[in-house]
Structure 1
Amino acid sequence: MRRFTSLEARIDAAAHRVLDALPRHGLSGALVEFLVFGLKQAWACLFGGLLLALIIATHYVWPRDALLARYDFLFLAALGIQVAMLAGRLETFSEAKVILIFHVVGTAMEVFKTSVGSWIYPEDSFFHIGPVPLFSGFMYAAVGSYLARVSRIFDMRYTNYPPLWTTVLLAVGIYVNFFAHHYTVDIRYGLFALTAVLYLRTVVHYRVFRFRHRMPLLLGFLLVALFIWFAENIGTWSRAWIYPSQSHSWTPVSLGKLGAWYLLMIISFVLVSLVHRPTEPDIEERDPK
C-alpha cells in the first residue's frame, strides 16, 4: 500500500527537511510528533472539514429566497470537492470507490430513516430522493474518506486483527439492524458485545512522523465515533438536518446517538479494510520507540 499520493509525498519530504533538524527525543521530539499528528489528522479530515465548514457558513449567510436551495448548493459543492480531491491527487481512486459504496449505503439508510421519522430535513431541495437531499450521502462519504485517508497516511498496521470474513459479517449485521430494529428486537447491545469480542485484542500500530505508536483499536473506534458525534451536534445546530426533539429549538444530540455512530463507523471501517487490507507491522516496528 502506498502511504502517500504524489502530492502528499512532496509535503512529507518538505516537512522532513524542516523538522529533521530538531532533536529526535525529549520535549522537542515529543512536540514534533504531536504537531505532525495534529496536521495529519486535519489532512485526513479534509473532505469532512470542508463540508462541515460549508454547512455552518450557509446556515448564516444563505438567502432564504435564493434561486439555488441551500441543500442543492451543498450537494454541488460536495461533488466539486470530491472531484477536486481526485484531480489534485489528494485521494486515490480505490479509496473513492469505497467512499462511493458508503455514500450509497448511507443514502439508502437515510431514505428509510426519514420515512419512519427518525430525523428530518427541514428545507427544500431539487436534488433529492424522497425527503432526503442528495448532499446527505456526502456526510457518510466524509466518514469513509477520513477512515480511508487516515489508514493510509498513518500507515496503520494491526496485531491480532480478526479474520476479515468475521468483520464483514459484523458489518452486515449492524447495517441490517439499523432497519430491522424498527420492526423486531433491537440487537445493538449484542452487536456492541460482538464488536468487543472481535477487536478486544487488536492493537493498531501507526506511524506519525519518526516513530511508530500503538493504541487498542477499540479505543480508536470510540474516539472517532466521539468526534463524529461532535460534528453531528454542529450539523443539527446549523439545521442541516434535525431530530424531532429539535424541531422547536436546538438541543444537544443524545448520547445514545454516539452508539449509533460507533456502529455505523465500524461499517465504514470494514469497507475501508477491503481496500487497505489489514497487515501486521514489521517485527522491528512492533514496539513503540
Structure 2
Amino acid sequence: MLLKTYIRHFLIFTIQQALSCIFPVLVFTMLALSHLFTGFIPRYDFMLIACIVIQAAMFFGGLETKNEVVVICVFHLLGLMMELFKVHIGSWSYPEAAFTKFAGVPLYSGFMYASVASYMCQAWRRFDLELISWPGHWVARICGALIYFNFFTNHFFIDVRYYIGVLIIIFFRKSLVKFHIEKKAYRMPVIVSFVLIGFFIWLAENVATKLGAWKYAYQHKTWAMVNYQKISSWGFLVIVSFIIIAELKLLKGDIEEQKH
C-alpha cells in the first residue's frame, strides 16, 4: 500500500513538474516551428511576438499571477543585460537578421531567462513550497549578487564561481525545501535542487542551440553538444533565480520559513 502511494506521488510530482514547465515548453515549441515562418517574418522577431503572446495568455488565462509576471519581467531585464554583455565580448552570438535586435541581441532572448523564473514560480505554487533553515537574508542576497556579477567580471579577472560555490555549500548546507503532494510533505536539500534544475536546463540548452536559438563559437560550422562546464553556469544561474524568488516571497509572506 505504501509503495502504491509513493508511485502515485511520483506520477503526480512528474505531472506537476511538467505543468510548471509550460512556459519554457511553449517557447521551445515556437522555436521548433519558427523556421516555417521565415518567408514572412525573421525568426527572432517571430519569437518575440510568440513569447509576448504566450506570456499574455498565461496571465489572462490565470496560469500566472500579477506578482509572478512582475518577477518574470525582472528576470527578462536581468537576462537581457547579461545577453548584451556576453554577445558583445563574443561568448555566443545570434547570427540571423531581425528587426528586433539591439547591439546584436534579439529582444526575445530575455524570455529564455524569464522561462526559468516562470518554472520556479509555477513549481513554488503547485507544490506549496516551504523553506527550512534558510540562511540569513543578507547572506542569501550577497551570495546571489556575487554569482550574478561574476558572470560579468570573470572575463576581466579570475573566475571565482567555484569559490562562491564553496560559500553556497557552507551557508546552504542545512537548507531544505519542503514540498507537498496530496498534503504529504517531502524534503529535499536545496543544494540538490540547484544541481538538478541546472542539469535539466543544460539539457534544454542543447535542444535550444540545435534549434538555432543561439550559437556558441564552436557550433557555427556544425552543431556540437554544449560544453559540460555550462552545467555549472546554469546551476549558478538557478541559485541566483532561486534566491531572488525566495527572498521576494519571504518578504511578502507568501511562503513559510522554518528554522528547524
**TM-score, normalisation: structure 1:** 0.85
What displacement does 1:141 show?
0.2
Counterpart among 178, 181, 203 of residue 151 in structure 2: 178
2:178 counterpart of 1:205 = yes
In the alignment, what sits opposite 1:259?
Answer: 232
Counterpart-to-counterpart distance in 2, 1:28 and 1:265: 33
Counterpart among 77, 80, 96 of residue 53 in structure 2: 80
What secondary structure sits across from 2:177 in the alignment? strand
Equivalences for 1:140-159 in 2 at 5 Å?
A: 140-159=113-132
CA contact (8 A) 1:151 1:276 kept: no
Pair member with larger Rg: 1
2:199 counterpart of 1:219 = no
Counterpart-to-counterpart distance in 2, 1:280 and 1:135: 35
Question: What 5-or-longer segments of structure 2 have no aligned partner?
Answer: none
What secondary structure sits across from 1:124 in the alignment? coil
Counterpart among 40, 49, 70 of residue 16 in structure 2: 40
Counterpart-to-counterpart distance in 2, 1:226 and 1:254: 12
Equivalences for 1:1-289 in 2 at 5 Å?
A: 25-59=1-35, 61-63=36-38, 66-277=39-250, 279-280=256-257
The C-alpha deviation readout for 1:237-262, integer Å capped at 9, x for no partner, is 11110100001001100110111111
Counterpart-to-counterpart distance in 2, 1:88 and 1:206: 25
The C-alpha deviation readout for 1:18-57, integer Å capped at 9, x for no partner, is xxxxxxx433322221121111101111101110111123
Question: What 5-or-longer segments of structure 1 have no aligned partner?
Answer: 1-24
What secondary structure sits across from 1:265 in the alignment? helix
Counterpart-to-counterpart distance in 1, 2:210 and 2:236: 23
The C-alpha deviation readout for 1:113-169, integer Å capped at 9, x for no partner, is 000000011211111221000110000000011111111211111221101221111
What displacement does 1:281 show?
5.6
Counterpart-to-counterpart distance in 2, 1:78 and 1:128: 15
CA contact (8 A) 2:206 2:225 kept: yes
The C-alpha deviation readout for 1:248-280, integer Å capped at 9, x for no partner, is 001100110111111111111112113322523
- The alignment covers a number of residue pairs equal to 256
RMSD: 1.5
CA contact (8 A) 1:205 1:281 kept: no
Corresponding letter in the other structure for 2:65: T
Counterpart-to-counterpart distance in 2, 1:44 and 1:87: 17
Counterpart-to-counterpart distance in 1, 2:230 and 2:87: 15
CA contact (8 A) 2:129 2:179 kept: yes
In the alignment, what sits opposite 1:22?
Answer: none
What secondary structure sits across from 1:162 in the alignment? coil
Identity %: 36
What secondary structure sits across from 1:252 in the alignment? coil
CA contact (8 A) 1:152 1:276 kept: no
